Amino acid sequence: MRKAVIGIPAARKKGKKGSPYFLTREKDVEALVAAGAVPLLLPAGIPLTDIPDLTETLDGFLFAGGGDLDPEIYGKVHHEKVYGLNSQRDAFELALMREVIARDLPVLGICRGMQLLNVACGGTLVVDIASQLPHAGKHDWWPKFKRDKLVHTVTIDPASRLAGILGVSGFEANSLHHQAVQNPGKDLRVVGWAEDGVPEAVEHSRNRFAFGVQWHPEWLQDQASMRALFTAFVKAAEEKNSFSS
């Protein structure tokens, strides 16, 4: 069996001297390579009409962290804490995510990626946790803190498929976000929570491997449970041709 090829959407950034480029974080690539996959960056400049070719060719998709989705996409108004808006990235990733879900292809969404999965399935987000959920604890442990800093406990529903993959129902996690799932999208179920009740994980009830996690497992590869998540993702991608329609 050949290695699974995992697509990672790469957002456009402005270069310091006016030359734009597309990029993703090295940790996402490292985690996939360690799990036995071949990562492939997908520039957000790819025409949306080519998305069916991508989903036909690749074995799985990792949607990584980054700036916020435009709140107007899910029916909310702009907030002063919203940052990093990128209309090109939003359009590309939403179209790709919807095609991936429709084709039942393996997908893992991390931080923004979890929020993207929820919005692509018709859900909504809390635009800013600190100002809209006064009972919540601190979740935006960035940019003045190390990305692997463990700041709160995540509890996973022991009956969920995600708990079976991780092999644990509770662990300490990092936290680098200021938004969260509000209303879960179609066929999505919240299966993980922080101590304050903020959703930390979702899984798709119909698709074979479609999960979103709000923490950053790529930075926690010293934890066996986080390595297990990427291993299971890659295994599902390796088997993609045997279960995709």
**pLDDT single digits (tens) 157-207:** 999 999 999 999 999 999 999 999 999 999 999 999 999 999 999 999 999
CATH code, domain with 135: 3.40.50.880
Q: What mean pLDDT is predicted for residues 7-34?
A: 92
Domain containing 184 equals 5-243
Catalytic residue among 111, 178, 200, 203: 111
Cα gap 28→25, rounded to integer Å? 6
**Domains of the chain: total:** 1
Residue 218 bears catalytic tag: yes
Residue 68's pLDDT is 97
Residue 244's pLDDT is 47
Catalytic residue among 200, 204, 216, 238: 216
Q: Which two tokens stand for residue 100?
A: 């991936």
Residue 111 bears catalytic tag: yes
Cα gap 65→9, rounded to integer Å? 10
Residue 199's pLDDT is 98
Per-residue pLDDT reduced to its tens digit, 87-141: 999 999 999 999 999 999 999 999 999 999 999 999 999 999 999 999 999 999 9
Strand duo 5-13 + 60-63: pairing: parallel
Catalytic residue among 93, 99, 218, 238: 218
Statement: the pTM of the whole predicted model exceeds 0.85: yes
Residue 80 bears catalytic tag: no
The one-letter amino acid code at 47 reads: P
Cα gap 129→226, rounded to integer Å? 25
Q: How confident is the model at residue 14 (pLDDT cuts 50, 70, 90)?
A: confident
At residue 130, the 3 state secondary structure works out as helix
Assess contact for 156 and 169: CB atoms under 8 A. Answer: yes
Assess contact for 143 and 175: CB atoms under 8 A. Answer: no
Q: How confident is the model at residue 59 (pLDDT cuts 50, 70, 90)?
A: very high
pLDDT reading at 3 higher than 80? yes
Residue 242's pLDDT is 55
